[in-house]
Amino acid sequence: MKLINKYLYKKINIKNVANHKQLFFKTILNQLLSHKKNCLEYKNLINNFDLKLKRFKTVEELPFLHVNMFKEKDLYSIKKKNIYKILNSSGTTNKKLSKIFLDSINAKNQIIALKKIVASFLGEERLPMLIFEKNPNLIDKKKFGAKVAAILGFSIFGKNYTYVINSKNEIDYKVLNNFLEKFADNKFFIFGFTSSIYEFLIKKIDNRKIFRLFENGILFHGGGWKKLEKNKINNEIFKSKLNYKLKLSTVVNYYGVVEQTGSIFIECEKCNCFHTNIFNDVIIRDENLNPIKQNNKRGMIQVLSILPSSYPGNSILLEDEGFIVNQKNEKCDNTGKSFKIVGRIPKAEVRGCSDV
């Protein structure tokens, strides 16, 4: 925990990844050793594959869990009485959901890290916030889902919170226009999931019914690309449509998973790539699960994060496909890896450490 506190509570440039590589690896390794000691399921997994954690010298060597493990097993490395919150992934009722067990410390650290990452782009000032989602009070909270977690997490960057989607899943133009009349002359913050932004701001919004356009807005959005891919909407088309229809030019895509809430990757406006920061890393693996060293070669995405301390989620193989653009992008001041997301990988049996 002392290592994590160096990242969270000291003034460190989160983009200066190069100076923290060894500390990052040491932090992840210590976390995995702690999970092995305190999580029986994780201990059995490591022992089954005869993995000696202390032998590993690089992040590429560290064992990982397939993301579906969090749907199949209850994985936590804290005492049951200390479980503060259980996050669930988004999904349909006929699918199993990931379950992420947090204690109060892990939940707090997620918020601190998210704040540092987004503030590096948005700044420290809290802006009037327009949210193109339903008010969490209208969402069924039998399970604390990824959507509610994201809305509440990003709300730390806003004020004057205004939820635009009503209980009938329609745009409330009266609420929207009240917000625009008060705040649209200056910079304001917009948040929504990618599919919701497409549905309401691109497809459904009627410009004749709004007070003014969104030229001073800063939009953060993430997730939900699968629905857009069916309509052949990629990131460039998505941005161009928002600019054409609403004069909204500052559009920021973020990439993250509920299994590593807090340590998101933000798309760079200079090079249109996602960047790693001091809280996270990304590895691309081939079909044999070997790390891909070449730039621009597609493979399965593995994400690493220093934040999970109450559950063994520090190193996870996802079902997404992507590629490293380069190890250091000269266009940017970020010294971490630059990468892009291609989409979901074809359904296939994943072999290796996570196959239990």
With 50 as the cut, is the pLDDT of residue 348 above it? no
Exposure b/e, 233-248, CB count within 10 A at least 16 = b: bebeebbebbeeebeb
Cut 0.85: pTM above it: yes
How many whole angstroms separate alpha carbon 345 and alpha carbon 237?
22
Report how far apart, in Å, the C-alpha atoms of 198 and of each of 131, 235, 340 are.
13, 11, 20
How many whole angstroms separate alpha carbon 327 and alpha carbon 335?
8
**Span 287-300, pLDDT tens digits:** 999 999 899 999 99
pLDDT value of residue 140:
52
Q: Which residues contact 324 (CB under 8 A, 6 or more apart)?
A: 282, 284, 292, 295, 296, 297, 337, 338, 339
Place 352 in a pLDDT band, splitting at 50, 70 and 90: very low
How many whole angstroms separate alpha carbon 34 and alpha carbon 185?
51
Place 91 in a pLDDT band, splitting at 50, 70 and 90: low
pLDDT value of residue 10:
83
3-state secondary structure the chain: CHHHHHHHHCCCCCCCCHHHHHHHHHHHHHHHHHHHHHCHHHHHHHHHCCCCHHHCCCHHHCCCEECCHHHHCCCCCCCHHHCCEEEECCCCCCCCCCEEEECHHHHHHHHHHHHHHHHHHHCCCCEEEEEEEECHHHCCCCCEEHHHHHHHHHHHHEEEEEEEECCCCCECHHHHHHHHHHHCCCCEEEEEEHHHHHHHHHHHCCHHHCCCCCCCEEEEEECCHHHHHHCCCCHHHHHHHHHHHHCCCEEEEEECCHHHCCCCEEECCCCCCEECCCCEEEEEECCCCCECCCCCCCEEEEEEECCCCCCCCCEEEEEEEEEEEECCCCCCCCCCCEEEEEEECCCCCCCCCCCC
pLDDT value of residue 94:
53
Place 344 in a pLDDT band, splitting at 50, 70 and 90: confident
In terms of pLDDT, which residue wins out, 353 or 273?
273
In terms of pLDDT, which residue wins out, 254 or 150?
254
